[in-house]
Amino acid sequence: MSLLITNDCISCDACIPECPNDAIKKGAGINTVDAENCTECVGHYKEPQCVAVCPTQCIIKNPKIRETKEELKSKFMRLQLMKK
């Protein structure tokens, strides 16, 4: 699953530098998550770092995008190969 930032976002930007995949971008009013780059930190950390630092708890699993741990690991591997 990709993560989703809800309308409760206060645009504090604490999440942006925490994302190891650069999946979080500043948006108009609220920040956004690029589902193509979000691995929920699988491959990097045990838990999503953006969720850990969010002061408003506005980052949730995107109910429209369902991915297994294996799919997230595959996405992580693909992203690592693209960086090279």
* pLDDT computed for residue 75 by the predictor: 96
Burial 45-63 (b: 16+ CB within 10 A, else e): eeebbbbeebeeebbeebe
* pLDDT computed for residue 57 by the predictor: 97
Chain center to CA of 6: 12
pLDDT tens profile 32-78:
999 999 999 999 999 999 999 999 999 999 999 999 999 999 999 99
- With CA atoms as reference, report the closest residue to 8 among 49, 51, 45: 51
Contacts of 46 (CB under 8 A, 6+ apart): none
* pLDDT computed for residue 70 by the predictor: 96
CATH of domain 3-83: 3.30.70.20
Surface-to-core class of residue 82, CB atoms within 10 Å of its CB (0-12 exposed, 13-18 middle, 19+ buried): exposed
Where along the chain do its domains lie? 3-83
The structure's pTM equals 0.91
Confidence of residue 1 (pLDDT cuts 50, 70, 90): confident
How far is it, in rounded angstroms, from Cα 21 to Cα 16?
A: 10
